[in-house]
């Protein structure tokens, strides 16, 4: 990125730069991958571009379905222009099937279908290791009002309906995903961050039996290999469908 743009923030998977328009930011997707609060780190050449393309098309789909988001446009292969938001320090996870931390922390068996999608909310705080948080603690900490939290939960459930049906059409099971929200300059709540195989669990439905084939960051988390191949396959299926 040319140094005309000032780096405002660097996260684990993205860099955020200022834009000439102070209501906008430029977001660059990095090739870095981290897991377990960055205890595990690696670089995958091409991941940034793939996530940028995948995320841009998913945000376009959500916008078409009237979900308010920060996404404005693709700037280049691995960069988007987005509305500037003040990020709410909460990670909203929605689970359609049990997997990952839910199975480590409960006796629920991996893969179990959850008749009612489960919403788990985590405090976005690396020092504290993003702990699971309750509605009462969110209120106590005055992170957001309970009305705004209800709105975020409602948006997350709506996003799940849209994404689940979209991914099913391209033979992918949406197991779970993580969202982040923020406030724009007029205090509207917008969906922020990205939606990509870095923050969704996507299982291939083109499998005989019930074999689980992860086409997401679990390939890195669980040392399965083939991360770029998996992300490319998702990108290819979206390309062929849209
Ligand atoms: P979990 O099972 O590890 O709690 O993850 C649930 C979903 O949230 C999964 O799709 C991965 C995503 N996720 C993130 O995007 N960032 C994170 O820091 C964590 C822990 C999970
Ligand atoms: N975001 C987590 C990390 O920082 C990784 C994950 O998605 O599991 O390492």
CATH number at residue 62: 3.30.200.20
The domain in which residue 214 lies consists of 86-226
Q: Residue 210: what pLDDT? A: 82
What is the pLDDT confidence band of residue 3, given thresholds at 50, 70 and 90?
low
Q: What domain count does the chain have?
A: 2
| Cα 98 from Cα 177, distance rounded (Å) | 12
What pLDDT digit, counting tens, does each position of 86-106 carry? 999 999 999 999 999 999 999
Q: Whose CA is nearest to atom 4 of ligand 2?
A: 37
The answer to whether the CB of 101 is under 6 A from ligand 1 is: yes
Q: Whose Cα sits closest to atom 7 in ligand 2? A: 35
- Mean pLDDT for 233-238 is 98
pLDDT of residue 147: 97
Q: Which of 83, 103, 120 is a domain's end point?
A: 83
The whole-number pLDDT of residue 88 equals: 98
pLDDT at 54: 98
On whether residue 239 sits in a domain, the answer given is no
Q: Is residue 107 part of a domain?
A: yes
Q: Specify whether 69 is located in the same domain as 95.
A: no
- pTM of the complete model: 0.97
CA–CA separation, 119 vs 9, rounded Å? 28
Residues 159, 39 share a domain: no
The pLDDT of residue 208 is 84
CA atoms within 13 A on the CB side of 16: 18
Q: Is the pLDDT score of 1 beyond 80?
A: no
Nearest CA residue ID for atom 4, ligand 1: 101
Query: What digits encode the pLDDT tens for the residues 163-180?
Result: 999 999 999 999 999 999
- Quick one: pLDDT band at residue 209, thresholds 50, 70, 90? confident
Q: Tell me the CB-side half-sphere exposure of residue 158, using CA atoms within 13 A.
A: 15
With a 6 Å cutoff on the Cβ, whether 69 touches ligand 1 is: no
- Is the pLDDT at 242 greater than 70, yes or no? yes
Q: Are residues 126 and 65 in the same domain?
A: no
pLDDT tens per residue, range 102-124: 999 999 999 999 999 999 999 99
Q: Which ligand is nearest to the CA of 201?
A: 1
Q: Output the pLDDT for position 152.
A: 98
Beta bridge partners of 86: 183
User: What are the CA-CA distances from residue 20 to residues 23, 80, 84, 93 (Å)?
Assistant: 9, 14, 12, 33
Query: In whole angstroms, what is the distance from residue 126 CA to residue 211 CA?
Result: 34
- The Cα–Cα gap between 31 and 49 comes to 8
Among 148, 161, 227, which residue's Cα sits nearest to residue 187?
A: 148
Ligand nearest to the Cα of 14, by number: 2
User: Looking at ligand 1, which atom is closest to the CA of residue 198?
Assistant: 15
Q: What integer is the mean pLDDT of 35-62?
A: 97
24 within ligand 2 shell (Cβ under 6 A): no
The confidence band for 4, taking pLDDT boundaries of 50, 70 and 90, is: confident
Query: Element (H or E) spanning 136, and its range?
Result: helix 135-140
Q: Which atom of ligand 1 is nearest to the CA of 120?
A: 4
- Measured by CA distance, the residue closest to atom 3 of ligand 2 is 37
Q: How many CA atoms lie within 13 A of 230 on its CB side?
A: 22
Query: Which of 38, 214, 218 to mutate to test ligand 2, by most ligand atoms within 8 A of the CB atom?
Result: 38
Distance, in Å, from the CA atom of 154 to the CA atom of 205, rounded to the nearest integer, reads: 27
Q: Are strands 189-191 and 90-97 parallel, antiparallel or unpaired?
A: unpaired
Give the CATH number of the domain where residue 116 resides: 3.30.470.20
Average pLDDT over the chain, rounded to an integer: 96
**How does DSSP assign 151-189, residue by residue?**
HHHHHHHHHHHHHHHHHHHTTEEEEEEEE-EEE-TT--E
Residues in contact with 47: Cβ distance below 8 Å, sequence separation at least 6, in sequence order:
29, 30, 31, 32, 33, 198, 227, 228, 231
Q: Which ligand is nearest to the CA of 37?
A: 2
Is the predicted pLDDT of residue 198 greater than 80, yes or no?
yes
Ligand 1 atom nearest residue 201's Cα: 10
Q: Is the pLDDT of residue 228 over 90?
A: yes
Query: Dihedral angle at the C-alpha atoms of 124, 127, 130, 131, nearest 10 degrees?
Result: -120
Mutation pick for ligand 1 pocket among 178, 193, 201 (CB with most ligand atoms within 8 Å): 178
């Amino acid at each position: 990125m040319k140094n005309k743009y000032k780096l405002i923030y660097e996260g684990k998977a993205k860099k955020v730069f200022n834009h000439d328009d102070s209501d906008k930011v430029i977001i660059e997707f990095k090739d870095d991958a981290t897991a377990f609060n960055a205890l595990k780190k690696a670089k995958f050449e091409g991941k940034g571009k793939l996530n940028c393309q995948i995320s841009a098309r998913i945000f376009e789909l959500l916008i078409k379905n009237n979900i308010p988001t920060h996404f404005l446009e693709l700037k280049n292969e691995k960069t988007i222009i987005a509305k500037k938001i003040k990020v709410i320090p909460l990670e909203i996870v929605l689970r359609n099937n049990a997997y990952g931390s839910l199975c480590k922390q409960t006796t629920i068996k991996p893969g179990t279908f959850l008749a009612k999608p489960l919403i788990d909310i985590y405090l976005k705080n690396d020092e504290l290791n993003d702990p699971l948080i309750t509605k009462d603690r969110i209120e106590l900490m005055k992170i957001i009002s309970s009305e705004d939290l209800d709105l975020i939960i409602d948006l997350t459930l709506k996003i799940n309906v849209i994404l689940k049906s979209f991914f099913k059409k391209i033979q992918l099971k949406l197991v779970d995903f993580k969202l982040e929200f923020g406030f724009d300059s007029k205090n509207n709540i917008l969906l922020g961050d990205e939606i990509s195989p870095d923050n969704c669990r996507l299982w291939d439905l083109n499998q005989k039996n019930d074999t689980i084939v992860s086409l997401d960051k679990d390939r890195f988390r669980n040392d399965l290999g083939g991360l770029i191949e998996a992300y490319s396959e998702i990108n290819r299926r979206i390309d062929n469908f849209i």
